[in-house]
Amino acid sequence: MNARPWAFVVTTAWLAVLAILTGFIMDTARFGGSLTAFLPRSGSIVQRALVRGLHKGAASRLLLLAIRGGTGAQRTKASRALARRLRRDTTNFTLIANNGRAMARGLEGFLFHNRYLLAPRTSWTVSALHADLRRDLAILESPAGLSASEVVRDPTGALMAAAGAWRGVRGPRSRHGVWVSHDGREALLLVKTRSSGFSVGPQRRALDLIHAAFARTLHHAPLSLEIGGTGAITVAANDKVAASAKRLTIIDLILVAGILGFVYRSGPPLVVSLVPLVTGAVVAAAVIDLAFPRLAITTLGFGTMLIGVTMDYPAYVLLHVRPGEGVARAARRVTRALGLAMIAMVIGFSTMMTSHLAGLVQLGVFAAVGLAAAAIAARFILPLMIPAWRPTADLSVWDDRAARFCAGLRRVRAVVVVVALAAVGVLWQRGGLVWDDHLSALSPASHTLMRATGRLSRAFGVPGLSSLVVVTAAHREQALAASAALRPVLARLRRERVLAGYQLAAQYLPSVATQRRRVRALPASAILRRRLRRAAAGMPFRLRAFQGFVSAVAQARHARLLRPADLPAAVRAQMGGLLMRIHGRGVAFVHLSGVRNASRVAQAVRASGVAGVHYVVVKRAVGRLMARYRAALMRHALIAGALMAVVIAIGLRSVREAARLVLPMAAAIVTTCAILVMTGPGLTLLNLVALLLIAGLGMGYALFLGEHGLIIDRRPLAPWVCAATTITGFGVMASAPVAMLRTVGVTVSLGAFLALIFTAAWSWGRAPRATRAP
């Protein structure tokens, strides 16, 4: 039988299938980015609203631009040219503003046209009108009287009252008609993207477009552009992770290839070592793509990490190849052990599918499908790819060394027990404080960019997403009315300097009920004329001059009441993040800024008696969401662990053997946790996922080190090789400059090391058989 063409065909077919699947995923998958996408879709309406608000909120879509260097005139010119260029692109950007005029575009006409719906006035008595007319007369009789002819068009000052909410949203100070920073050394622009600030792809495109447009406006002026905002942070964080992951992967590959190269002494086994992992990841992603509306990037990341255990499968197969034996036979011999490990883990991870957290369900499906696919690839496809490979080096010396080392470790079992107990003690003593649930604990964004964004946000008066009031109601209209009811409370808090400011939808758009009340208060034309005549008694007004006013009021009496969709684009953009429909319910957000005393705000909001109102400190609330997710994952991990133990006990048909296998692994996980808690700020979600990987790795080590009759002619070297590659690979990651990668690297390399040592201490006691020696 000529094996080579056959191997070539299998390899080609396998590559083709993977390529097709990858193409299919790329073509159809809708990727959901960011951790917020991973947060629960269930849970209370407030939590869901918060997630949506964080994700889709208007504030997240703002990019803040600062032009530096050059002279003031150059910056002004660049600001104008940049704004002009970007305004042409309406598919990516919804708002480009570099001065107050841009923000107020379409606003003045809107305010004037709807002034009687927007102004809070409801009193139209003779005495109220008289007071208005006295003020108007004073203006007309002043030296500016000639410019004040509009006072007779709007004698009650409705336009000014309607514009009340808009005063102060002009943004930063202006010089030569463009926004500048406080010290005047930067020209500032505000850009709003159509896509969410957490979507990496569209945000990168937006940033590229802005940079390209800026480059074209330069004309050799020595200017630089800084961009802040959620989108910029998202992209920078993503790039940072990608860049350092790329660098580390190359180092990783070299080191791991060095280890495996030393063991195999040939090339093909190195290449096929990737077969199970790649197969698992691609198949799992394809299944998620088919079964779920959206493939969370987090699922891809965490999931690939969980099935990273399958990197060990090729080593377990190839190192068991005996001289004169085909790879397929060796694979057959380790099938039962590999199969048991795989089935135990698949059953374990499947419990995640029963979770009510969408992200966790996805992760469970991904891990279960990926593991099964990877194991099948290792067992059936890999031997076909290199059917005739046989070890060229005699590794029995190393086998003996590994066995002797295991024997040495067996003698210090007592130490392991003491360490594990101490670890349990540490965790017990820390209690609930072992977790660090801040979202920022996982954020890889640079602090410089975060600070720049904070600085620019303050310059623009963009409310920081630090604390807000969430108002939920049956529909948007009700939420709007309820949030409006909070205004007196908020105004009082601001007067008492408990908070610096607030922003809410009701400021820009009164509820329909309020508008109706105002319209009902408007007098009919005949009545208004009569009242005007009486109010103007003793004043030199020509009543004819008020004709425009009288007909405007008459028109307003039958005006269609305003809904969010009626607002001009700039206003809608401003308000979009403040009033939303989420899962069929109306949600209004009130952004608070400069909160000095959170508990007083909470108390005042509670005491307001407005239904469906919740005060939320975002950091804390997100922490709670993370904690919820983490707790659910923890619960499922424990159930998964228990199930794995049961499956192994059934597979080995011995509770005692199963205990020898599972307990050292559990001890390794507990010890890893304790070390991490003692040396770091606390455990995060990432640590937890990494620990699940350790469980999988440890099970492999235990199965291949223990004696249970599942594997005929065992090679004790195999787990040591696997552990060496894992510890090296993740050890390199532990040196990453990005906290996220470092966490995973440290946890997995430490855990894998402990798992190996602990399981080896309970390994099978007899010396390896001599039959393997030639």
Partner 1 sequence: MLLKTLAGAANRKARFTEVNHLASLRRAVRVYGTLQYIKPDTLIMTEGAPRKAIYRIVGGRLFVNRARRGVSVGRYPSVIAMVSGFEGLLSGNYALLTHDFTTRLQGNRKAWRLLLRPRLAALKKALISVAITGHGTQLTQITTRAPNGDSSDMYILP
Give the interface with partner 1 as residue ranges (CB under 8 A).
138, 140-149, 152, 540-542, 545
Residue 213, both tokens: 């447009």
The number of beta carbons lying within 10 Å of the beta carbon of residue 135 is: 14
The number of beta carbons lying within 10 Å of the beta carbon of residue 322 is: 15
Q: Are strands 295-296 and 31-32 parallel, antiparallel or unpaired?
A: parallel
Q: What is the separation of C-alpha 418 from the centre of its chain, rounded to a whole number of angstroms?
A: 40
Q: What is the separation of C-alpha 219 from the centre of its chain, rounded to a whole number of angstroms?
A: 38
Residue number with CB closer to partner 1 (324 or 538): 538
CB of residue 537 vs partner 1: minimum separation in angstroms? 13
State the DSSP string of 179-221.
Answer: EB-TTSSSEEEEEEESS-TT-HHHHHHHHHHHHHHHHHH-TT-
Residue number with CB closer to partner 1 (128 or 148): 148
The CA distances from residue 302 to 244, 251, 538, 749, 766, in Å, are 17, 21, 81, 16, 39
Spatial neighbors of 280 by CB under 8 A, at least 6 apart, are: 307, 310, 369, 370, 371, 372, 373, 374, 377
The CA distances from residue 8 to 2, 13, 15, in Å, are 11, 8, 11
Residue number with CB closer to partner 1 (148 or 347): 148
Do 600 and 493 touch, CB atoms closer than 8 A? yes
Residue number with CB closer to partner 1 (143 or 432): 143
State the DSSP string of 597-640.
Answer: -HHHHHHHHHHT--TTEEEEEHHHHHHHHHHHHHHHHHHHHHHH
Q: Are strands 31-32 and 62-69 parallel, antiparallel or unpaired?
A: unpaired
Residue number with CB closer to partner 1 (1 or 146): 146
CB of residue 144 vs partner 1: minimum separation in angstroms? 5
Residue number with CB closer to partner 1 (141 or 496): 141
Residue number with CB closer to partner 1 (116 or 541): 541
CB of residue 548 vs partner 1: minimum separation in angstroms? 10
Q: Give, for 403, the enclosing helix (H) or strand (E).
A: helix 396-411
Residue number with CB closer to partner 1 (144 or 565): 144
In three-state secondary structure terms, 32 is strand
CB of residue 140 vs partner 1: minimum separation in angstroms? 6
State the DSSP string of 644-713.
Answer: HHHHHHHHHT-HHHHHHHHHHHHHHHHHHHHHHHHHSS-B-HHHHHHHHHHHHHHHHHHHHHS-SSSSSS
CB of residue 219 vs partner 1: minimum separation in angstroms? 25
Supply the Cα-derived Rg of the chain in whole angstroms: 34
CB of residue 542 vs partner 1: minimum separation in angstroms? 5
Residue number with CB closer to partner 1 (102 or 697): 102
CB of residue 536 vs partner 1: minimum separation in angstroms? 10
* Core vs surface per residue 336-370: b (16+ CB within 10 A) or e: bbbebbbbbbbebbbbbeebebbbbbbbbbbbbbb
Q: Is the dihedral of CA 13, 14, 19, 20 positive or negative?
A: positive
Beta bridge partners of 590: 469, 504
Find the angle CA(588)-CA(589)-CA(592) to the nearest 5 degrees: 150
Q: Counting beta carbons within 10 angstroms of the beta carbon of residue 383, is it exposed (0 to 12), middle (13 to 18) or buried (19 or more)? A: buried
CB of residue 152 vs partner 1: minimum separation in angstroms? 4
CB of residue 544 vs partner 1: minimum separation in angstroms? 9
Phi and psi at 581, nearest 5°, equal: -110, 120
Q: Is the dihedral of CA 186, 192, 196, 199 positive or negative?
A: negative
Do 120 and 518 touch, CB atoms closer than 8 A? yes
The residue among 132, 127, 164 whose CA lies nearest residue 151 is 132
CB of residue 305 vs partner 1: minimum separation in angstroms? 59
In three-state secondary structure terms, 115 is helix
Residue number with CB closer to partner 1 (143 or 774): 143
CB of residue 148 vs partner 1: minimum separation in angstroms? 7
CB of residue 156 vs partner 1: minimum separation in angstroms? 15
CB of residue 147 vs partner 1: minimum separation in angstroms? 4
- Output the furthest CA–CA distance in the chain (Å, rounded): 124
Residue number with CB closer to partner 1 (141 or 208): 141
CB of residue 137 vs partner 1: minimum separation in angstroms? 8
In three-state secondary structure terms, 48 is helix
Residue number with CB closer to partner 1 (549 or 753): 549
Residue number with CB closer to partner 1 (93 or 541): 541
Distance (Å, rounded) from C-alpha 363 to C-alpha 127? 70
594: left (phi over 0), alpha (psi -120 to 50) or beta: left
CB of residue 529 vs partner 1: minimum separation in angstroms? 16
Which long-range contacts (C-beta less than 8 Å, at least 24 apart) are formed by 415-421? Answer: 416/664, 416/667, 416/757, 416/758, 416/761, 417/667, 419/667, 419/671, 420/667, 420/670, 420/671, 420/758
Q: Indicate the residue type of 53.
A: G
Residue number with CB closer to partner 1 (170 or 494): 170
Residue number with CB closer to partner 1 (336 or 533): 533
Residue number with CB closer to partner 1 (146 or 770): 146
Residue number with CB closer to partner 1 (108 or 400): 108
CB of residue 540 vs partner 1: minimum separation in angstroms? 5
CB of residue 227 vs partner 1: minimum separation in angstroms? 31
Looking from the CA of 273 toward its CB, the CA atoms found within 13 Å total 26
